[in-house]
């Protein structure tokens, strides 16, 4: 720090930090939510200019928005218990409505695309049928000849909504909004220090090109999938940074749905007019998905080649694919975190969505901003609270 230039300083009531490509639009969405309650909340993006590999990435322009955490709800009952899984799905329903309103406010289309399930074993059919009996969607089960793709059997379309989220368009609209409401996000390289400056405020020290600046805020909200363990030791055994990879290939057959789940949600597909984007969450367990990876894991690519071969779709083995990398994080219990850190009660952490932030973040930022600005109850988001680890 001694080699850096003299520090400047600034004061905010609320400050938002994001530190990876996936937190760009979500941090702006959070700032927009605070503004709706009359509270300015400037955004700081922490970006490493020396990471040349990041600049070469091709982030997905479209991501799937649907209900739940990507699993058949009956499977979620087995993982989280019925009460918690039901609360998770109800929150996700509210999120879908909130996302629809957000897109309408910005004049962006949010077209329904349909959600389809595929599987290779009868156990998943049993789980889906049980979900339908509980009232969680499903207007028919069965298979059609156009969907008998290799060894992967079509299970059914769900009546629950699904759509494709244009994150590029949303981020563009949010940047235009920010430019006219307090300014665009500031870009810094790293957070050097965070400490209490007095009983009610925190002081941050940011660095860029050897220059330091101090910022003071009463409330700090971090949308971060990676962090300095020395600055945030409490997160060390709660939150794991991961890298998810997906692949886009030209579409070779017509389909009447836009989001697909395979193998109980372990694999997913987003279908646009011209291409498939398929990926997998299973690399967390068998591939080496932990940490910030800067290139596609070869084992993930091998798995996707097998996956495309099973489907009999044109696959990455043809050499005509585009790869995508996403820096995400997952918690030790599988639920996202959205709450104050016990050792820093004015610092709120929002992370751990494991690649599915869009299914919760629209409702979550609204509820969080309302609770902080207007003193409303945090009860609607207690499901994600840090208190569950105490």
Q: What is the CATH number of the domain that holds 357?
A: 3.50.50.60
Residue 85 falls inside a structural domain: no
- Rounded to the nearest 10 degrees, the angle between the axes of helix 122-133 and helix 73-80 is 90
Residue-wise pLDDT for 341-386, tens only, equals: 998 999 999 999 988 899 999 999 999 999 999 988 888 899 999 9
Cα separation, 338 vs 316, whole angstroms:
37
On whether both 55 and 125 belong to a single domain, the answer is no
Residue 324 falls inside a structural domain: yes
Residue 76 falls inside a structural domain: no
Which region among 263-272, 285-294, 326-335 has the lowest average model confidence (pLDDT)?
A: 285-294
On whether both 215 and 314 belong to a single domain, the answer is no
Residue 131 half-sphere exposure toward CB, CA atoms < 13 A: 32
First to last CA, the chain: 35
pLDDT value for 336 = 93
On whether both 157 and 243 belong to a single domain, the answer is yes
Q: How many domains does the chain have?
A: 2
- Of the pLDDT bands very low, low, confident and very high (cuts 50, 70, 90), residue 27 is very high
| Residues constituting the chain | 390
Last residue of a domain, one of 302, 331, 360: 331
Cα separation, 299 vs 97, whole angstroms:
38
Residue 71 falls inside a structural domain: no
Quote the percentage of the chain above a pLDDT of 70.
81
Opening angle at CA 310, ends 122 and 312, nearest 5: 125
Cα separation, 209 vs 187, whole angstroms:
11
Name the pTM for this structure: 0.89
Which range marks the domain in which residue 255 is found?
112-164+239-331
More confident of the two residues 265 and 218? 218
> DSSP secondary-structure letter at 353?
B
Highest-pLDDT range among 177-181, 313-317, 327-331: 177-181
Residue 93 falls inside a structural domain: no
On whether both 148 and 243 belong to a single domain, the answer is yes
pLDDT value for 152 = 58
Residue-wise pLDDT for 131-159, tens only, equals: 777 777 655 455 443 444 555 555 566 65
Residue 73 falls inside a structural domain: no
Cα separation, 25 vs 28, whole angstroms:
5
Q: Give which of 87, 52, 45 is closest to 69, Cα–Cα.
A: 87
On whether both 250 and 315 belong to a single domain, the answer is yes
Q: Using DSSP bridges, classify how beta strands 259-262 and 267-271 pair: parallel, antiparallel or unpaired.
A: antiparallel
* DSSP assignment string, 125-145: HHHHHHHHHTTS--SEE---G
More confident of the two residues 253 and 105? 105
Average of per-residue pLDDT across 125-130? 77
On whether both 177 and 277 belong to a single domain, the answer is no
Characterize 108-122 residue by residue with b for buried, 16 or more Cβ atoms within 10 angstroms of its Cβ, and e for exposed: eebeebbbbbbbeee
Which region among 51-65, 69-83, 225-239, 315-329 has the lowest average model confidence (pLDDT)?
A: 51-65
For residue 223, pLDDT beyond 80: yes
- Of the pLDDT bands very low, low, confident and very high (cuts 50, 70, 90), residue 9 is very low
**Residue 91 to residues 27, 42, 199, 237: CA-CA distances in angstroms?**
20, 27, 34, 26
More confident of the two residues 128 and 84? 84
**Residue 15 to residues 38, 41, 134, 179, 239: CA-CA distances in angstroms?**
14, 5, 42, 16, 22
Q: Give which of 150, 230, 179, 158 is closest to 43, Cα–Cα.
A: 179
CATH number at residue 292: 3.30.9.10
Residue-wise pLDDT for 33-67, tens only, equals: 999 999 999 999 987 655 545 544 555 677 888 88
H or E segment at 246?
A: strand 239-250
Residue 89 falls inside a structural domain: no
Last residue of a domain, one of 331, 353, 376: 331
On whether both 157 and 294 belong to a single domain, the answer is yes
Opening angle at CA 155, ends 125 and 78, nearest 5: 35
For residue 92, pLDDT beyond 90: yes
Residue-wise pLDDT for 231-272, tens only, equals: 999 998 899 888 888 888 877 777 777 888 877 777 888 888
Cβ atoms of residues 140 and 256 within 8 Å: no
Four-residue CA torsion sign, 325, 327, 328, 329: positive
- Of the pLDDT bands very low, low, confident and very high (cuts 50, 70, 90), residue 171 is very high
- Rounded to the nearest 10 degrees, the angle between the axes of helix 167-180 and helix 23-36 is 50
What mean pLDDT value characterizes the chain? 81
* Six-digit token string for 267: 């694999």
Which region among 1-15, 119-133, 157-171, 285-299 has the lowest average model confidence (pLDDT)?
A: 1-15
Last residue of a domain, one of 289, 312, 331: 331
pLDDT value for 59 = 58
């Amino acid at each position: 720090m001694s080699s850096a230039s003299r520090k400047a300083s600034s004061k905010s009531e609320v400050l938002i930090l994001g530190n990876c490509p996936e937190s760009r639009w979500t941090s702006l969405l959070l700032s927009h939510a605070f503004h709706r309650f009359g509270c300015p909340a400037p955004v700081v993006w922490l970006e490493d200019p020396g990471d040349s590999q990041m600049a070469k990435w091709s982030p997905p322009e479209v991501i799937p928005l649907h209900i739940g955490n990507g699993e058949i709800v009956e499977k979620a009952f087995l993982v989280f218990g019925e009460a918690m899984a039901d609360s998770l799905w109800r929150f996700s329903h509210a999120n879908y409505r909130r996302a629809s309103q957000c897109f309408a406010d910005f004049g962006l289309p949010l077209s329904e695309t349909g959600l389809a399930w595929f599987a290779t074993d009868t156990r998943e059919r049993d789980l889906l049928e049980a979900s339908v009996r509980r009232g969680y969607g499903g207007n028919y089960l069965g298979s059609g000849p156009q969907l008998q793709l290799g060894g992967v059997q079509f299970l059914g379309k769900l009546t629950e909504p699904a759509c494709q989220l244009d994150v590029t368009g949303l981020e563009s609209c949010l940047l235009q909004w920010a430019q006219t409401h307090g300014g665009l996000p500031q870009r810094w390289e790293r957070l050097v220090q965070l400490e209490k400056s007095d009983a009610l405020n925190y002081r941050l020290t940011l660095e860029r090109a050897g220059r330091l600046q101090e910022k003071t805020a009463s409330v700090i909200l971090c949308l971060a999938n990676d962090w300095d363990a020395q600055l945030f030791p409490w997160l060390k055994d709660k939150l794991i940074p991961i890298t998810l990879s997906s692949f886009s290939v030209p579409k070779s057959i017509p389909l009447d749905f836009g989001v697909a789940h395979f193998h109980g949600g372990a694999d997913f597909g987003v279908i646009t007019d011209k291409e498939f984007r398929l990926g997998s969450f299973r690399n967390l367990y068998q591939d080496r998905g932990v940490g910030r990876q800067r290139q596609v894991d070869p084992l993930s690519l091998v798995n996707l080649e097998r996956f495309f071969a099973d489907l009999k779709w044109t696959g990455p083995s043809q050499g005509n694919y585009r790869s995508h990398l996403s820096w995400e994080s997952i918690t030790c219990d599988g639920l996202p975190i959205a709450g104050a850190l016990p050792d820093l009660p004015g610092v709120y952490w929002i992370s751990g969505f494991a690649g599915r932030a869009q299914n919760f973040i629209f409702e979550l930022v609204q509820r969080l901003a309302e609770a902080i600005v207007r003193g409303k109850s945090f009860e609607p988001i207690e499901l994600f609270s840090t208190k569950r680890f105490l």
